[in-house]
Chains A and B, each alone.
Chain A
Amino acid sequence: MRPVPYLGHGVGLRRPHWEALFATPQRVDFVELLVDNALGRGGRTRGVVERARDTWPTVLHGVALSIGGPDPLDLDYLDRVAELAHAAGARWYTDHLCWSSGFGVEYHDLIPLPATREAVERVVERVRTVQARLHLPFGLENPSVYVRYADDELSEAEFLRAVLEGADCGLLLDVNNVYVNSLNHGGDPREVIAALPLDRVMQIHLAGHERVGDVVIDTHGAPMVDPVLDLYAYTLARTGPVSTLIEWDNDLPPAEVLLAESDRARAVAAAVLGERPVPCPA
């Protein structure tokens, strides 16, 4: 696994916040660019990517890699990601442990993989291809999943560990997803966190979620709840400083609200870690 620098506390750079984030007096340590909203685009989008590169440390996050999908890896997509990473000066690239396309069709969603050894083998081989092609630190995020297959062989943590160690890649640990999965499927989220290969955590995601009927949906459309911040503190106590990013993609609030959420996470980190580590400079 390639080492990554500590970047502090950041936010996703979403289009409605472009101008506000560049102008804000509030603290932004780094930003995350959504690969699939920037890939191959010129004009203002490209200008914002380059301006972000010149303003903050940046990282790339995608949803369309389909690392566990049935179709061959899209090498053209990977080459475009590499070009974007270069233009953005990105420190690393992450996507999700799932599949998002198959049989020639894009779903534009994160479809869960069965937690089986066969799926582990498929993903490990493909992550190696990604890492060899990109020459950039690469990590997989634990997704929120709403179905668990009856024939799953591995627990959530076992599945993640097998993939990450088999492929020797990093973990983008979405603490909210661990919490949401525990609400939807039962189990103790702290046990899941404790069972993960925490030395591989390269970044943390935090976000809000919403209950819809009897299921909790990872909407990225609400403030973080305290139990997620408690779980974040529990995680940091075991990992030490990890670059942490607030995701907010739906019902976007004003940028100052988003940044206040980042400040909440920063305060938790300061409380757990004693003193604030100095982020890597841009």
Chain B
Amino acid sequence: MPRLAEVQSVMHQVLRDAVPVAEGAARLGVDPARLAIYHRFVHRHVQHALEANFPATLAALPPETRAALHAAYFAAHPPGTWSLDAAAAAFPAFLDARAGAEPPTPLHAALAHLEWALSEVYHDPAVLPVPETLTLNPTLTVLESVYPVAAYLVAAQAGGPPPQVPAALPAPTLTLVFRHPVRETACFFAATDALLFALKVAHDALDPLQVAAELGVDPNAALEAMRAGVACGLLLAPAATPTQRT
């Protein structure tokens, strides 16, 4: 009779594709069709984790590429923690390593980084404080890419067929990703000069008018940038500030 350790070793090898289902079923003394159910379930869980976390990235890939990537990712990145979402964590880097002229391209990898950042900021355990002064949203993640991934994802989320793949930009752009402090949804914005101004002022706890004077920026534009930062959730405002937490 197989001992528990042997049963679990054989089952593990079947579930991880190291032993064919039929061979594993014979060694365990179980119906191969029934054992195949578990094999299928375990593979599907990882596939579902990818589909849940990277809908736009996967939609932008040809179906045959998707299937091949699922299989290769399952083999290369066994899930290591209880969190099913975490089973998808390595996918952006996995695409980075495979990106080329044919899909997956660097755009797909960049898009996956953005989608994963959205998942991470949504679940970020940080408690967003109601600060005494303007404060940078602690869930902020800044991504850099030569592809306009923020614009692409906006278009993809609008529905319909996947948007046309954009060309690489002459210089990298930044995308700001954070959890909105009131709606608690994950937000992303292509970084504008105004948002970067607000980010810098809040991060370094500077006086926006003083910075505006030093940079030769219109003070009204500086204040408007700060208001825009609060309105979109990039900055957390004191409770008395009417533009937030209403």
Contacts and interface: CB of A to CB of B under 8 A. Distances in A.
Interface of A: 36, 39-47, 64, 69-70, 74, 77, 99, 101-109, 111, 113-114, 116, 118-119, 122, 146-151, 184, 214-215, 217
A43 B80 contact: no
A187 B12 CA distance: 29
Contacts of A113: 4
Contacts of A39: 82-83
B45 A46 contact: no
B30 interface: yes
A107 B82 contact: no
A103 B10 CA distance: 11
B8 interface: yes
26 contacts: A40-B83, A40-B125, A41-B123, A41-B125, A44-B122, A64-B82, A70-B5, A101-B82, A102-B8, A102-B12, A103-B12, A105-B15, A105-B78, A106-B80, A107-B38, A107-B42, A107-B79, A108-B79, A109-B38, A109-B42, A111-B15, A114-B4, A147-B34, A214-B33, A215-B37, A217-B37
A77 B38 CA distance: 24
B46 to A, nearest CB: 8
Contacts of A69: 8
B42 A108 contact: yes
B82 A149 contact: no
Given A40-B125, A41-B123, A150-B28, A105 B80 contact: yes
Contacts of B9: 70, 103
Nearest to B179: A43
B123 A147 contact: no
Nearest to A103: B12
Contacts of A184: 34
B221 interface: no
A106 B87 contact: yes
A41 B139 CA distance: 13
Contacts of B126: 42
A147 B35 contact: yes
B11 interface: yes
A111 B35 CA distance: 10
A281 to B, nearest CB: 29
Nearest to A214: B33
Interface size class for chain B?
Answer: 35 or more
**In the complex, the 10 A-B pairs of residues with the closest C-beta atoms, listed nearest first:** A150-B29, A64-B82, A42-B125, A44-B184, A108-B45, A147-B30, A106-B79, A151-B1, A105-B78, A41-B123
B10 to A, nearest CB: 10
Contacts of A214: 33
B3 A118 contact: yes
B242 to A, nearest CB: 23
A70 B8 contact: yes
Contacts of A70: 4-5, 8-9
Contacts of B28: 147, 149-150
A74 B83 CA distance: 13
Contacts of B184: 43-44, 47
B164 interface: no
Interface in B55-84: 78-84
Contact of B78 (A104, A114, A148): A104
A106 B81 contact: yes
A42 B29 contact: no
